[in-house]
Amino acid sequence: MDQDRNGEQAGYHRPVLVDEVVELMAPVVPGVVVDATFGGGGHTRRMLDEFGDEVTVIAIDRDPEAVATATGLPVTVVQGNYGHLAEIISSQGSPEVSGVLFDFGVSSHQLDEADRGFSYRQEGPLDMRMGPDAEIDASVIVNEWPVGELTRVIREFGEEPLARRIAQAIVASRPIDSTATLSTVIAQAMPAARRRAGHPARRTFQAIRIAVNDELRSVDAGINQALDLVRPGGRVIAISYHSLEDRIVKRAFAERSAGCTCPPDLPVCGCGNTAQVRVLTRRPIRASSAEIEDNNRARSAALRAVEKVA
């Protein structure tokens, strides 16, 4: 595949906030950087271009199709779930880790391949598994889960106000055998006003995808293991695409950056807590309007970064 200066693999995925990632990673080089969400390797390729031999990349992705795009690159590739980051790094001989990058969510390739079942715009199977390690596919949730559980998932993971109504429509239409049918069932459950405001199935598809891949549990585990793993002075960078991911990152960074939690009137610290990290991004970094114009996916990206303190 061809690659442009932003590290884009032609037709696979266009990475976001690449300059910002390279700039934030520069101070930890030379060292080992873990790209925990390799995808088409856009961020990794750009780091290799910028840092050359000074950076050693361990690339992780749970999707075998993403792992295959690393062929020929001077990186160590591991097919696995970043929710098991500590185990993966230990399987690589426990090198000292200087930086970890997370670029959450799905790649454009996963969305564009109708056969993967992620797209509400195309006809495909109800799959949505990012990798073979996912325990269920979307069909199980759509066709087997009780209405209450379906409602909870659509409300919590899709932040969809019409969750109950959509869940009831799905249950009433079973069996549903394709993404296109599911998309139509959801659209028909919506009042006309909602059908005009963005694609009516977007939030529900996001919710089912998050549940299939148990995404939020992995985000929480991955971020916390990365914060434990990086060396003093090392950095953890996370790019989120919706508030559920960003909330987990923000909370983990805030907890680890909090020092003493004793009441201010206590003369001597009794809790013994000290800050483990320094937050480098008081507010999340957003893509410039030029990048958003060029790559619509950058619109919702929010980057946060921390540095481990000694």
Interface positions with ligand SAM (CB under 6 A): 13, 15, 37, 39-43, 60-63, 66, 81-83, 103, 105-107, 130, 218
Is the preceding peptide bond at 175 cis, omega within 30 degrees of 0? yes
Cβ contacts of 103 within 8 Å, gap of 6 or more: 15, 16, 37, 39, 43, 239
Q: Give me the least distance between CB of 181 and ligand SAM, in Å please.
A: 25
Q: Give me the least distance between CB of 220 and ligand SAM, in Å please.
A: 11
Nearer to ligand SAM (CB atom), residue 11 or residue 52: 11
Nearer to ligand SAM (CB atom), residue 119 or residue 218: 218
Tell me how far apart the alpha carbons of residues 69 and 186 are, in angstroms, rounded to a whole number.
Answer: 35
For 54-145, list the strands marked E by DSSP.
55-61, 76-79, 97-103
Q: Give me the least distance between CB of 82 and ligand SAM, in Å please.
A: 4
Q: Give me the least distance between CB of 218 and ligand SAM, in Å please.
A: 4
Q: Give me the least distance between CB of 4 and ligand SAM, in Å please.
A: 12
Nearer to ligand SAM (CB atom), residue 78 or residue 166: 78
Tell me how crowded residue 157 is: count the other CB atoms within 10 A of its CB.
21
Cβ contacts of 285 within 8 Å, gap of 6 or more: 17, 20, 302, 303, 304, 305
Q: Give me the least distance between CB of 110 and ligand SAM, in Å please.
A: 6
Nearest residue to 235 (alpha-carbon basis) of 279, 265, 204: 279
Nearer to ligand SAM (CB atom), residue 130 or residue 223: 130
Nearer to ligand SAM (CB atom), residue 65 or residue 156: 65
Nearer to ligand SAM (CB atom), residue 107 or residue 225: 107
Q: Which long-range contacts (CB under 8 A, 24 or more apart) does 11-15 make?
A: 11/109, 12/39, 12/40, 12/69, 12/107, 12/108, 12/109, 13/39, 13/40, 13/42, 13/107, 13/108, 13/109, 14/42, 14/108, 14/295, 14/297, 15/39, 15/40, 15/42, 15/43, 15/46, 15/103
Q: How many CA within 13 A on the CB side of residue 147?
A: 11
Q: Give me the least distance between CB of 288 and ligand SAM, in Å please.
A: 18
Nearer to ligand SAM (CB atom), residue 31 or residue 39: 39
